[in-house]
Structure 1
Amino acid sequence: MSKPVVAITRPKDRAQKACEIVERLGGEAILAPTLDLKPVNTRSLKDFVAKKDEFDWIVFTSPTTIVSLNKFYPDFIKSITCKLAAIGNKTGKLLEKQGLTIDLIPADFTAEGLIDEFKKHGITGKVIGIPRTASARPVLPEELEKLGNEVILAEAYKSLFPMDSKAVKDLISKIENKKIDAITFTSPLTVENFFEIVEDKEKIAKFLSDNLITVSIGPITAKVLEKYNVAYIYPDTYTVPDMMELLFEKLKEQ
């Protein structure tokens, strides 16, 4: 029996682990990033770093934010004294490797999950810093402000349209020729950018639903797949290892 071929659409610099898991589970990984991430040293990030001592909380939503801060302000993270929240184990573990203690990680690795935790702990009247990409969903800062907090945002990286669109077009060709068994999406933009490159969106959406197993990392990304009428599955815990474990369970059932 040939190895199942799994398409990975996440950014190239964050795809290694996903590819390794696919190969460990007995599959062949094809990398076709539909999103690129670029750390940027913006004015808002510079101002954010200067306000370090004003924060009661800093929320880290992505490992790329940490990469950006370490690149442009290498002394910043180790000098943090306020409380820290992280969305996702990967982000939390990266901070812990740098000697920090994470005060809050939601069980549900989404902005909504973190908001629920802040509500549960009655966190209000605080100054909360959130370094992230400018294209991130507005729900986190909006809901934290509704709780009576002051939120200061900073752009730490840019989420870009894939610079290597040829790889994505090659992937689409393989999908049409039934050479792909499954495809994974790890953020709303990985889906949006994929369909931006697709010419016949209805045709490819039907392929993803009928001929492939399409796996979303969680419900937020799944909502975008629904917009394109793509059938999907996602794991109970919104991590790359869990989505791959679920995928290979489904492959075995087939």
Structure 2
Amino acid sequence: MSLFGRALADGDRLEVAGTAVTLKVNRRARRVSLRLDRTRREIVATAPSPRRLPEAAAFARARAGWIAERIAELPDATPIHPGMVLTVFGEPVRLEAGSGRAKWLPAAHGEPSRITAMGEGEGYARAVILVLKKRAATVLGERTEVYAAMLGVEPPKVTVADAKGRWGSCRPGLRGHPASIRYSWRLALAPFDVADYVAAHECAHLLELNHGPRFWAHVKALVGEVKPHREWLRAEGARLHAFGR
């Protein structure tokens, strides 16, 4: 079996039941399997070796009904529009139409925080997301500085992006270059404690580039029990990624 006239390869994509299916090779796998990637809203078909990728592709096509059911279970996309009330780091925030540059207005006089932006449709959504990214960079940057100080390391450079597969990633400092941590801006839509856990998690990687016992000891020393936060992200991650789609 081939794709576009060539043999199938790790990372190739096909479409089954209107859904993207990514082919992956995992040499530790014992059999061909399918799994739902909730954040990317796609299916991953895994094969133990490159030669079994055609089998993985055929298996995905044979399970078209299962794939359609799993995708249907995902939360619907959440378009952004004036009048919505979001929860940003656990705080209610109302979206409003406004003039001039999009901005964040802190809570005052008994009113919740607000985001005001011009435009409509996709233009309005882009403006709101830009404000949310800035808010995420500010809050997560502050928490990163706190945890870096607690761990006795230099604060890394912090950036935010719309990562699909990870809530955060850490790159250690090398050859005179400072360490850096990148977060998904969608953490702004999570409860503060959950986003704070991700910051602690990534900062712990500044000391341990693994997920071994010493790594988890650092994380727990910073934020205590991590299981509730990890479970929240597994349960609600797809909803966060559906926002603004």
TM-score range normalised by the length of the shorter chain? under 0.3
Greater share of residues in strand: 2
Q: Which has the higher contact order (CA 8 A, sep 6+)?
A: 1
Greater share of residues in helix: 1
- Max radius of gyration: which structure? 2
Per the normalisation by structure 2, the TM-score is 0.26
